[in-house]
Amino acid sequence: MDPKVGNLRPPAPKRWGSTPSIVRVSEQSVPMTWYHIIPYSLLRDVWNRLVDQHISTQLPAARVAIRQYISLADPHLVGLDELVDRIRAENTTQRRAGHNTLRPLDTAEANQLAAAAVWPAWDVVEGPSARSDDKRDQSLDRFTAGLTAIELGQMRGIERLFSAFTTFSKANQFRSSNQGVAAATSLSVLSQSMTSEREALSRDLPIRFRAEMWSTDGSAWTKRRATEAAAMP
């Protein structure tokens, strides 16, 4: 089965806890939700293109890049190398020629890969669902206030990766007579970017709700800016 992500967003990992949760803040019950930092749509598009290139080409860089991506998204995925190899069972040309002896992914395995690809823990923050400054999947949703030093490093790494993902996504929209070379170069650059950010993005769970990361006017919530946090007594 093809592990690309379709129109429906896969559910967040159950090991993160129930969603939406309810958090008590100043004697009020505040419903929570998960927010992507790099937009879900960009994660989905990058993953789907990596899957397409891994299936449809023989480029070694395609396998390297998709393995880098999924291991960055979920470093604890069991049997990663076998799963990555079996994605190529969807190559119908090789299957017809009898050259493909790989067993296709079953539905559960394909869904597991798809969910991991769009729900990396380092890309998610828990926050109030009644939020007035929600980016709504349109742009980078970077947080600056109320973070630890490690989390600030994580945000900087995510910002750099967002730039690399955007470049990769746009580059793959073009076609040329030198397509193979261009695709291999694009894949290699993306792999290098993911390798560079691996340490900064090493975390097993999202950033949970902390009041110092948020502001509220009593009805809606917004991200607190670093300048606002610095001005607090």
pLDDT in tens, 8-62: 999 999 999 876 688 888 778 999 999 999 999 999 999 999 999 999 998 999 9
What pLDDT does residue 175 have? 47
Residue with tokens 């992914």: 105
Q: Does residue 129 have a pLDDT over 70?
A: yes
β 221-223/124-128 pair status:
unpaired
Question: What distance in Å separates the CA atoms of residue 100 and residue 95, rounded to the nearest whole number?
Answer: 5
C-alpha triplet 139, 144, 147: angle, nearest 5°: 130
DSSP class of residue 173? Answer: T
β 214-216/221-223 pair status:
antiparallel
**Is-contact 157 163, C-beta < 8 A?**
no
- Work out the end-to-end distance of the chain between its first and last CA atoms, rounded to an integer number of angstroms: 56
Q: Does residue 231 have a pLDDT over 90?
A: no
Tell whether pTM > 0.85. Answer: yes
Q: Does residue 149 have a pLDDT over 90?
A: yes
Beta partners for residue 207, in sequence order: 125
**Is-contact 208 117, C-beta < 8 A?**
no
What pLDDT does residue 233 have? 42
**Is-contact 55 88, C-beta < 8 A?**
yes
Give the model's confidence band at 180: pLDDT under 50 very low, under 70 low, under 90 confident, else very high.
Answer: confident
Percent of the chain residues past pLDDT 90, beyond the cut: 76
